Amino acid sequence: MDKKLAEDFDLHLKDIMMGLSSRLQKIQESKDQNEADHLRVKAILETKKSLLDICFWKANEYLDKTDSTVAEIYSQMYNNLASLFEKAVGMPTVIGGSIPNSNQTTPTMRDTTISN
């Protein structure tokens, strides 16, 4: 179980960092410096949030298998954090390096848990 969680974490981390690198390269090509600065900060904030998401998801996967009561509390903490992030930063929760469309609902931790 620990090995699978670590492998999944590594894959998600790699995908997120590659996505950031790609986005920053595209932003660098922008002719409008103010827009580029704004997009760069936005990309970095979204990436930081995605990294936090991975940590929460993997910890919750482990807790689901060991203590479901604690997992439920932990899931509620994650959902509250995601809501605070969206309100504070003014952007939807980032899942897998992309922003959900406005007509999509933001997934909860339970929706995004990876199964064995």
**For the residues of 35-92, what is the DSSP string, one character each?**
HHHHHHHHHHHHHHHHHHHHHHHHHHHHHHHH-HHHHHHHHHHHHHHHHHHHHHHSSP
CB 56 within 8 A of CB 74: yes
State the residue range of the domain holding 39.
2-112
Per-residue pLDDT of the chain (116 residues; tens, 9 = 90+): 678 878 888 898 899 999 999 999 999 887 888 888 888 888 888 888 888 888 888 888 889 889 989 999 999 998 898 888 878 766 554 444 433 333 333 344 434 433 33
Alpha-carbon separation of residue 56 from 33, 60, 62, 82 (angstroms): 35, 6, 10, 11
d(CA 37, CA 75): 34
Q: How many domains does the chain have?
A: 1
CB 64 within 8 A of CB 71: yes
